[in-house]
A = this chain, B = another copy of it.
Amino acid sequence: MKVSRRVKPLNLNPDRLFPAEPTVRGIARDLYSEVANLPIISPHGHTDPRWFAENDSFGNAADLLLVPDHYLLRMLYSQGISMDALGVPRLGQDTAADPREAWRLLANNFHLFRGTPSRMWLDWVFAEVFKLDVLLSAETSDFYYDTITEQLQQDAFRPRSLFEQFNIELIATTESPIDTLEHHAAIRASGWGGRVITAYRPDTVVDPGFEGFRSNLARFSELTGEDALDYDGYLAAHRKRRAFFARMGATSTDHGHPTAATADLTETEARALFARITSEQVTPEDAELFRAHMLTVMAGMSLEDGLVMQIHPGAFRNHNPWLFETYGRDKGADIPLATDYVRALQPLLTRYGNETALTIILFTLDETSYSRELAPLAGHYPALKLGPSWWFHDSPEGMRRFRQQVTETAGFYNTVGFNDDTRAFLSIPARHDLARRMDCGFLAQLVAEHRMEEWEAAQLAHDLAYGLAKKAYKL
Contacts and interface: CB of A to CB of B under 8 A. Distances in A.
Interface in A263-312: none
Task: Identify which of A24, A114, A365, A373 gathers the most chain B CB atoms within 10 Å of its CB.
Answer: A114
Task: Identify which of A323, A350, A373, A379 gathers the most chain B CB atoms within 10 Å of its CB.
Answer: A379
Copies of this subunit: 3
A21 B368 CA distance: 29
A408 B398 contact: yes
A363 to B, nearest CB: 14
A342 B354 contact: no
B449 A18 contact: yes
A44 to B, nearest CB: 20
Interface in A319-345: 319-323, 332-338, 340, 342-343
Contact of A411 (B113, B349, B446): B113
Contacts of A377: 319, 335
A452 B119 CA distance: 9
Given A17-B451, A350-B321, A456-B111, A398 B371 contact: yes
Contact of A379 (B24, B78, B398, B448): B78
A368 B370 CA distance: 11
Given A78-B382, A398-B371, A414-B78, A350 B320 contact: yes
Contact of A407 (B78, B116, B356, B379): B116
A19 B116 contact: no
A235 B120 CA distance: 49
A404 interface: yes
Contact of A451 (B120, B365, B409): B120
A397 B356 CA distance: 30
A422 interface: no
A332 B380 contact: yes
A67 interface: no
Interface stretch (A47-55, A145-153, A388-396): A388-396
A13 interface: yes
Contact of A77 (B80, B382, B452, B453): B382
A78 B20 contact: no
Contact of A20 (B337, B396, B445): B445
Contact of A349 (B320, B372, B376, B384): B320
A412 interface: yes
A407 B398 CA distance: 11
Interface in A21-40: 21, 23-24
Nearest to A448: B20
Contact of A15 (B321, B450, B455): B450
A408 B336 contact: no
Interface of A: 8, 13, 15-21, 23-24, 74-75, 77-80, 111-117, 120, 316, 319-323, 332-338, 340, 342-343, 346, 349-350, 353-354, 356, 365-368, 371-373, 375-382, 384, 392-393, 395-398, 404-405, 407-414, 445-446, 448-453, 455-456, 459-460
Given A321-B350, A337-B372, 12 more contacts: A15-B449, A77-B382, A111-B413, A114-B412, A115-B407, A115-B452, A120-B451, A319-B349, A320-B349, A367-B371, A371-B393, A396-B451
30 contacts: A8-B453, A17-B449, A17-B450, A17-B451, A21-B21, A77-B380, A77-B382, A78-B378, A78-B380, A78-B384, A79-B414, A80-B356, A80-B382, A111-B413, A114-B412, A115-B407, A115-B412, A115-B446, A319-B380, A320-B353, A320-B380, A333-B380, A335-B376, A335-B377, A337-B343, A338-B340, A371-B392, A396-B449, A397-B405, A398-B408
